[in-house]
Every structure is written in structure tokens, then in C-alpha cells.
A and B are shown apart, each in its own frame.
Chain A
Amino acid sequence: MAGMQKSEFENPVINWIDTRLPIFTMMQKEYGVFPTPRNFNYFWNFGALAMVNLMIMIVTGIVLAMFYQPNTSLAFDSVQHIMRDVNYGWLIRYVHQNGASMFFIVTYIHIFRGLYYGSYKAPRELLWILGVVIMLLMMATAFMGYVLPWGQMSYWGATVITNLFSAFPWIGPKIVTLLWGGFSVDQPTLNRFFSLHYLLPFVLVGVIFLHIAALHITGSNNPLGIDVKTPQDTLPFHPYYTIKDSVGICVFLIVFSGFVFFAPNFLGDPNNFIPANPLQTPADIVPEWYFLPYYAILRSVPNKLLGVCLMFASILVLFVLPWLDTSKVRSARFRPIFRQIIWVWLLSVVVLGLCGAHKPEGVWVILSRIATLYYFFHFLVILPVLGKLERTLPLPESISQSVTGGRGGGPFPSGATAKPMEKA
């Protein structure tokens, strides 16, 4: 990329900037004319939705940080001050709080799309791995964010989860002391969680940049799971997918607004309206809904260390998924057994979520053990074996052939053949 290139833009100001720092040329290339498979379905909206969601979280978070006090005697009251006294404070807080849930809804669907259509398979393995890193960063950020209001569930959730690390032999308790900065969750913990909660979203932005860069090298997958063969298989990203993404964003905002304005505390825990009391544990310690499946796995086995390891393993297994799944066919559309089996896996995750919301006793323990076993069975046994044994359906010749019903020719709408578009 060294050396100045002549900029193609007509506008003199844009041309001047672009010659010296080709951001406009880059935007034109990566988001203007970028050849994108023409057969995306709405599952492909969710990456863009996650990006929009992240921006909403950063903006609302920065404004909230102007009023929040990261001190154990002031934190809870500072949140109430935001809710009651700051102009539109209630709105900004509810957007941030429900935005976290929306972020997980959007991201979980985005991940499911990857699982169903084989987007993790070669050559997109690194793209997938970056995605798992993004998910881990999101989980860390959300966990620390939930501690900040310093309610009962903030405090006790922090205590339970930081205590997990004591399961590791010998170094465990030292790690916990290091995390706490003391002998229990207290002021030092709250302060560092606030600092890291402000930091990690920007780390997220960096990893997402790499995620999208990796995507733009390999190109997007598509519902058929077959490679793009000719420009006729693609559309320029703008205007086709900019408009489609705009539609998706509107639907997303409607759902988001439904929560923010009509049920802002539906997904939350009433215990967090009680200021943190280190001397009294709530009857049920439950994390936010998006952590429930992992919580269920953690509590499914009676052994503390094994529970912790299984919980971490449930995410680590995703890192090696591209090598666990041996099928040569990407998309579930052409894998008749896999396309049914994956829903069983999804069911196991939902069951784990339900188990996580209940005390680990009676039927819930039994269910969580079965579901945990099945979760790992899917990744470690079914996927490797199925890939070898499954008789897949014949793949179409090309994307355009499957979309236009085999005509292969005929005029295309202007702009639909991925020509570079003239830019004013």
C-alpha cells in the first residue's frame, strides 16, 4: 500500500484527503462496491446489527460514566441519581441495560448462523476464532458491567464468579486475591471493574476490525455454502445490503424499544434493587439470562474444579470447531442429518439455560447433566463422525444458477453486476 495513488473522486476536498489518506477509496472498496453473495437471507443481517449495538453501548456507556461513581458507598445512589435527576438519565440507563441483552441476542443468533451454514469452515477458520474471542470479551465486559450498580445481585454474582478461580489447585486462591485486590469483593474490585469495563469495549472494536478484515479477505459465506464463482454470483454491497441492513436495523430498534419503553426490567433480577449487603446472601444467586447455560454447566457436576473446567471447556470447544467438523459440505441445507441434529443441540442449550435459572436440585440437576453431556457429545462425537458418514445432497453449480433457476443469462438490473460505481 506504499506510494500515493491518484484518487478517483471528483469532489476536490474529498480528493485532497483521499490522496493523502485513502479512507474514501477504502470505504468505497470495502462497503461500496464490495462483491457480496446475492443470496443472503436475513440471518446475514446480524453481524451489522451487532456492530450497531456496540456503538449504542459505547455512546450510552460514555454518557453514563459522566455520572456514575465507582465507590462502594456511592455507586448504588449514583445510579439512582442517573435514573431520577439526570435529564433523560432513565432512558440512557435503560438503553444501556437492555442494550446488553440485545447484544447477546443478536450475537447468539449471529453465531447460530455460523454453526448452521458452516461459516467456520475453511478458509474462514481464523474469522471464526476471532469471533469466539469477541464473544469472550463481550462476556467479560457484561459481567463487569453488571457489578457496577452495586446491588445485591451485582455483589453476590461477582463473589460467586470470582471465587470460581479458587478451584484451581495451589494458585487458585492467589488468583482470587489478585482479582479482588483484597480479601473479598470490595472497593478495589469495584474500581478496577469500572476501569476494565470502560476499556474492553474498545479492545472489542479492535478485534472486530480484525474480524471484518479477515472476512473481507475470504469473502462472505452464503446460505448455499458454495463458493462465489463469477461476478454474476454477487451484488455490490451498496445499495443492496446497505438497504437490507437498514431494514434489519429498523426491526432491531423496534424490538429494542419494546424492551426499553415497555418492559425495561423484564430481563433483570429484582434483587438488584437492593443495595449490596456483604453480610446477607440472597436466596437465589442467578446471573443474567445470557450466562444461564454456562451457569448450568458449572453446577451440573458436584466437583468444584470439574465444574469450572467444563464451563470453560464449553466455550473453548468452539475454538477448535473448524477441525472437529469433518464434513466437506458447508451448509446445513445440503446436510440432511446435520440440519436436524443441530436443532437438538440448540434445544440442549435452551434446556441448559432453563436449568441455570433454577436451584440445582431435583429434576433440574438431572436435566442439566443430560443437556451438558449432549452439548459436548454434539461437538466431540457427532460432528467428527457425521462428517465422515453423512450422505450429503448434491450442491448447485453456482449461486447465480440456483437463484435464477438455471437460466444463467439474461439482463441483470443496473448495478447488479458488481461494476465499480461512480462516486460524486
Chain B
Amino acid sequence: MKPVDHAEASSHFIEATAHLEFHDRRLWDLRLKRDRQAHGIPEWEELRNLASAIKEHTLSHLADYLEEFEARAKSNGAQVHWARDAGEHNQIVYDILSAHGAKTLVKSKSMLTEECDMRAFLQTRNVAVIETDLGERIQQLDDEPPSHIVVPAVHKLRGDVSAVFARTIGSEPGNNDVHYLAEAMRRNTRPYFLAAEAGMTGANFAVAESGSFVVCTNEGNADLSANVPKLHIACIGIEKVIPKIEHLALFIRLLSRSALGSPITQYTSHFRAPRPGTELHIVLVDNGRSQRLGMKDFWYSLKCIRCGACMNTCPVYRRSGGLSYGATYSGPIGIIIDPAFDIRKYSNLPYASTLNGSCTNVCPVKINIHEQIYKWRQVMAARNQLPLVKKEAIRIIGKVMSEPRLYRAAISAAGLAFEHLPRFAIYNWLNPWGRQREVPEPPKQSFRSWYLENRAHQ
């Protein structure tokens, strides 16, 4: 398979100016809201340290906690299944559904089922799968994957949604009123909730001591999916487990504040045991996670609680859109997860970053995202996965940077060049930094020459 070309895919996203501007602004707004929430909690940094430590503790004892979770869940009356990979997960889900004669499945958002491409698998076996999160449903009806792990259709404008709904659920063509569109989806979805034989949720957290799991939504769609049909299937990645109920306080305090800048999601739902007369099935899924756990530099990514804060703050993500990553997970967290799934297909993704470190600074569980991105670049370089132009450029930069005299000469030449070169020599196809942006004014003086003039004699 050809590697995903993120830069090429982003160029199409960038062409749609109105979309690009909205996308950039909307996600930055989420970042600012996150900051306001974080600054309102004096112990915020302590919460991050504790959440990180609890995740690292759990991952270093993961097998024991998984066994504890399984035993508790079983004693609560849930049925527990284990899936090594996506294929086994999909088959298990299908077998549960067919044993119940279920033909319609209402589900809430789950990145894990995206990872497993479950919808396609079930639909070819005549199970109708209805996504019930508004953004996820928009993406399903438009036959596109989610472009963001929290706000799946954030790359679309209201006109796009209106066109999708007019085409697929019979809403009024050309009616772009957001309230109307949301109401149209509410009315379209309600009958499915009432008729579906089965409901599915993911899980944000699974608690070992109680065998329960937690789902956070704003729409209440997970609670409808789980509380109306007689069958509830929950698909849970094995890294979601945490030791105790009291630990939930930390993660719930951090999650929605980091994701959307709200103190909590509208619904934080704890499922421990099936309702009387119904069944609860839990599918614990590995799909590469146990292998990633053994990667010295990269296992930290398993701490992720999928808040999307790193995406919202990333200048590359905001200006290229999630779909350009060509993977289930996009943005900074995607860059460090995706290559573990397919190192060749995602060999270019680690370059979709400025390494500014903002992702690491906002991560609620303190994953060293930008350092991992850098390490993935080293892995790709060692595997000879670099495109030729990049390889040559890096070779030259490496040479220049390693020799102070060469570096100084280059800097002063670059300054002169920017000052004296005509516009067309800077803004052309050879210089990607000159596209869609103005190159900043070069400083009049380098730091070194300023220092020699002003401070060296002191």
C-alpha cells in the first residue's frame, strides 16, 4: 500500500477557504475554552500529574487489572469476550447480534469500532447500523470517516450537512438552519431507538474494582442506545481500564474540560450490570495494543483518554483537517498511534507536525506527544522511509547545523536574501513555507551578533 501523503491531502482541504477558516477558528475556540476551564481549577497541574501516574501504574500492571475487571464484570452478570484483533471483534459482535436475531443496532460513538471498520462488516451481513451521535451520523450518511475524535464532522459547514441530510434523510433541500437540521436528525433517529433490538456503546473508562464502565456523551445517545433495547454490547480497548472508582473523579474532571472546555459532559454514565431481563456483553479488544505496550518509546500513547485537546491546539491539524491523515486517528495523537498499526502506510505522518510541543502541554495525562513524534521520525529515517527531497534537505541542514561557521554564514545569507530578493523568488512552488502565509520579517540582527555587541564584554 502506498504511504498516505498528508501534505498532498491537506492541499485539497486548504483550497476550500471558507472551510479552512472556520475549522481553524472553531478548534482554536475549543482550545481557548479548555484554557479557561483549566485556569479555573487551582489543582489542574496536580490532576494531570495524578492522572498520568495512575495510567502509568495501570499499564504496568495491566494484565492483573484486566483479570480483576473481567471477574467483577462477570459476577455483576455481564458476559465478557476477548478479541485479539479487528476481525475477531467484528465476528464476536456479529455472533452476539445473530444469536439474538438482531437486525438493527443503534450505537454511540466509538473510535474502537472505527478502528475495526465494524459498520462495513455488519452491513454486508444485513445488520443495519445506526450511528446516533449527530456528528458521527453526518459522517456515516456522507460515507466519510470521522475527521476528529470528539467532533467528527467539524470539517463540514452547515450547507454541507444540509446537502447530506436532503440527500439521505429527506430534509428540506437548501434549508441550512442548524436548529432545523438537528431537529430533522432527532426525528429521524427516534424510531430507530424504539425499534432496535440491540444497542452499542464504547467506553471512556473501565473500572477494575467494580467491573463497571463509563461512557461520556453530551447528547444522551449512549444512554438511549444502552437503556432502550434489551441487548447492550460495549466495545472496550484493553487500555481503558483504571483501578478504582475514586480514580474516575480525576479523569472525569479532566476529560470534558480538555475536550470541549465544559466542566463535564451532559451525561456521565456508569454501567455495572444489565437491567433485569436484558443482556450486557463486554468485548475487550487488543488490536495491537499489547504489542504497543512493549514499545519502549511509544507505550505512553496508551495513556490517551481521547479528549482531542492535542488536535485542537495543533496548527497543522487545524489547517489540514482530520481526513488528510488518512487514518482512524488524526492530529498529534494520531501521528504517534497510527504508525504502530502500519509503519509503511503512515510513514509520512510524523512530519505533519511543527514539533512546537503545544500538544504535550495541553495533554491531560501528560503524554510526551511531540517527543514521540520526533522519535517516530527517527524510526522512519532508520527504516529509510523518508522521501528523497526531505532526506537530502535534512542531510544538508544536519551538516550546516553541526558546524557553527557554516551555520552563521547561512543565517546571515538568508537574512540578506529575504531583504533583497524580489517577491516571486520567495513565494513560489519551491518554498512551501510561502504558501497561504506571509513569511515573517527576518530579524535585523541574529542573536549571536546582538550578544557579541551588547553582552559579550560583561
Partners in one complex: no
* Interface residues of A, Cβ cutoff 8 Å to B: none
* Interface residues of B, Cβ cutoff 8 Å to A: none
